[in-house]
Amino acid sequence: QKEVEQNSGPLSVPEGAIASLNCTYSDRGSQSFFWYRQYSGKSPELIMSIYSNGDKEDGRFTAQLNKASQYVSLLIRDSQPSDSATYLCAVGSGTASKLTFGTGTRLQVTL
Amino acid sequence: GAGVSQSPSNKVTEKGKDVELRCDPISGHTALYWYRQSLGQGLEFLIYFQGNSAPDKSGLPSDRFSAERTGGSVSTLTIQRTQQEDSAVYLCASSPPAGQQETQYFGPGTRLLVL
């Protein structure tokens, strides 16, 4: 079983719709959770971090965390073509240490 | 301010040669990480530095890989006797001092191609 699992996609959504990206993790001791966006040929760029159960909103992005279900998600409202990228879920222990990444979900926002 | 920088941006080498990859973290960031990303794959952790020491080297794939960090700043990842399977993008990240959120910020990466 992979430590951090994501559906590889592609997830295709029309412009203006809500994109929902999901991630599950296996280590119950995980404390920190991150979503990175990676455009083709570029390095990962931090979108959101979340540490507590519930929702965290930042502009068009909402991260949701449910530690009991070992589940973290990212919602993108009013999706734009520029949101088309691979979204990486990363999980950490809550201290300065390595992050464990999923393989990413490729999002395609269509006109 | 300046982000994480890495050099070279691209490196083509012949099998069996040694390569050195450099990372310059964000100023003031005490933690530094090396990852690699093979084509179509997720990020694979290699090594983590806190200051000049490396508490976690568990991701280094073989003894051909080594890394050092000097002055709590610049880090060098060295791959000896490169193999074709070493071809990947090598990413460096840094994060703020302990006690702050440990968000990792990535550099642009070094694309290594071993022929």
Burial B42-74 (b: 16+ CB within 10 A, else e): bbbbbbbbbeeebebeebbeeeebebebeebbe
Contact A46 B105 (CB under 8 A): yes
pLDDT (0 to 100) of residue B42 = 84
* Residue A96: closest C-alpha in chain B: B102
Question: What is the average per-residue pLDDT within B28-34?
Answer: 92
In terms of Cβ atoms closer than 10 Å to its own Cβ (0-12, 13-18, 19+), residue B112 is buried
Q: Residue A93: closest CA among chain B residues belongs to which residue?
A: B102
pLDDT tens figures, A93-107: 877 678 999 999 999
Q: Do A42 and B108 touch (CB under 8 A)?
A: yes
Determine whether the interchain pair B41/A103 forms a contact, defined as Cβ–Cβ distance below 8 Å: yes
Tell me how close the Cα of B94 comes to any Cα of chain A, in angstroms.
10
Q: What does the alpha-carbon distance between residue A89 and residue A108 come to, in Å, rounded to a whole number?
A: 17
Q: Closest by alpha carbon to A42, among B97, B106, B21, B50?
A: B106
Phi, psi of A31 (to 5 degrees): -125, -20
* B109·A43 Cβ contact <8 A: yes
Q: Is residue B100 pLDDT above 60, yes or no? A: no
pLDDT grade for A1, boundaries at 50, 70 and 90: low
Question: In the prediction, which pLDDT does B16 show?
Answer: 97
CB < 8 Å to A100, chain B: 45
Between A65 and B97, the more confident residue is A65
pLDDT-derived band of residue B40, with 50, 70 and 90 as boundaries?
confident
User: What's the whole-number mean pLDDT along residues A27-46?
Assistant: 93
The answer to whether residue B102 scores a pLDDT higher than 80 is no
CA distances from B15 to B22, B35, B85, B91 (A): 20, 21, 10, 21
